Amino acid sequence: MRKRVVITGLGLVSPVGCTVRTAWNTIITGGNGISRLTGDEYSNLPCQVAATIPKGTEDGCLNILEHFKESELRNIAPASVYSLIAAKQALEDSKWLPEGETDKDDTGVCVGMGMVDLVNICESNDALKRGYNRVSPYFVPRILPNMAAGLISIKYGLRGPNHAVSTACATGAHAIGDAFKFIQNDYAKVMVCGGTDACINPLSIAGFSRCRALSTGFNETPKKSSRPFDKQRDGFVMGEGSAVLILEELEHALEREARIYGEVLGYGLSGDGSHMTSPSKDGRGAILAMKRALKDADLQPSDITYVNAHATSTPLGDAIELKAIKTVMGDHVKNVAVSSTKGAHGHLLGAAGNVEAIFTVKACETGEIPPTINLENVCDEGRDLNCVANEKQDWNWERRIALKNSFGFGGTNACLCLSNFVR
């Protein structure tokens, strides 16, 4: 019998709140963390909206200097900073801060990053032009995509798998799925897993705008700019942040009487084999990822009653994903709620799948399905679906089982099957 893997800790730094409690409250009440970008460097760009981390000392905001000295921040990339804070929250929430050598050996890290620090690369190149000695000795460590995982492992002395995933916008979901398999295959008893990204800068905004991926039609009304499944959607809104989950082998969690939020039941992944930036038009990659997650969980489509969609608010991607969900679910789709929380927090790139996995776990735990905000006129592909428009819905099932989709550039797809915990 394969090992059961449960979720015992959650940590989050996001545009809708920098604790799980505040972020979930914002999501479930239809709040919004998107605003207009300020500064002359953004004034000539087509997209001028983003979902940034709220900074400050107020509840739910992030005060980085509570966690790091200014001298430390010069040596660590912002994405790694966010992941260290989220990991601290998750480990403390799980009450798992291993001190014994065996416990440290049995605890691993799997935290990914979608994109490296482009600003630091540009600044370091300018420094080199002024002289070799102007280049920071921390330049290379700052831009390594595995450094978030490495720094968490180093900080807590964790000697289980030290693994990093970088699969564009599927990174966070792949990291959770890989960690799930590491526990099932007895590489670790506990895994610290998730993803992180901090790419809101003029170069990234310009690059994604050139790909025609970002929203450009709502610069004057930024809170309306991310609108999954809506007919007026015109691209995604970039977000930033990190989320970390503590996965644990069930018997290990029960033995130490840990709080259990939910369970990971299955993991599916696939490739489109189609295009660098666009999903395959027939949705085959998404279909395969969902079917493989169900197969891994030994479940049928009829067991699923909620899908937390990848749905970034792009015209092509949202439509293809809805078609794929219909294909997988068949006639049962009428019993399935489908929502995307990206209307509230934008698209966190490599941290999207893991942030949204936390919201899916909370939905499974609480029986409340988060809404798709800004859904004013549902697209044709969603007209016959329950897309949870603008207000949360009750999830009145004893066993609440969900799929969480994540897709990325390069045609990479991941799907997690998550549920509330039932003995």
Catalytic annotation, residues: 169, 310, 347
Q: How many residues does the chain have?
A: 423
Tokens of 406: 């994540």
CA dist., res. 74 & res. 135, Å (int): 12
**Alpha-helix residue ranges (DSSP H) falling in 256-351:** 284-297, 315-329, 342-345
CA dist., res. 22 & res. 369, Å (int): 16
The answer to whether 172 touches 187, Cβ cutoff 8 Å, is no
CA dist., res. 159 & res. 357, Å (int): 25
The answer to whether 172 touches 112, Cβ cutoff 8 Å, is yes
Q: What are phi and psi of 354, to 5 degrees?
A: -80, -40
Q: Which of 34, 50, 83 is nearest to 196 (CA)?
A: 83
CB count within 10 Å of CB 376 equals: 12
Q: Which of 151, 138, 81 is nearest to 109 (CA)?
A: 151
The answer to whether 349 touches 114, Cβ cutoff 8 Å, is yes
Dihedral Cα 87, 88, 89, 91, nearest 10 deg = 80
CA dist., res. 408 & res. 414, Å (int): 9
Q: Which of 184, 205, 209 is nearest to 115 (CA)?
A: 205
CA dist., res. 216 & res. 232, Å (int): 11
Tokens of 68: 């790091």
DSSP codes, 315-326 = HHHHHHHHHHHH
Q: Which of 218, 199, 202 is nearest to 210 (CA)?
A: 202
Helix 78-94, helix 147-156: angle, nearest 10: 40
What lies within 8 Å, CB to CB, of 268 at 6+ separation is 177, 288, 289, 290, 291, 292, 293, 294, 295, 296, 414, 415, 417
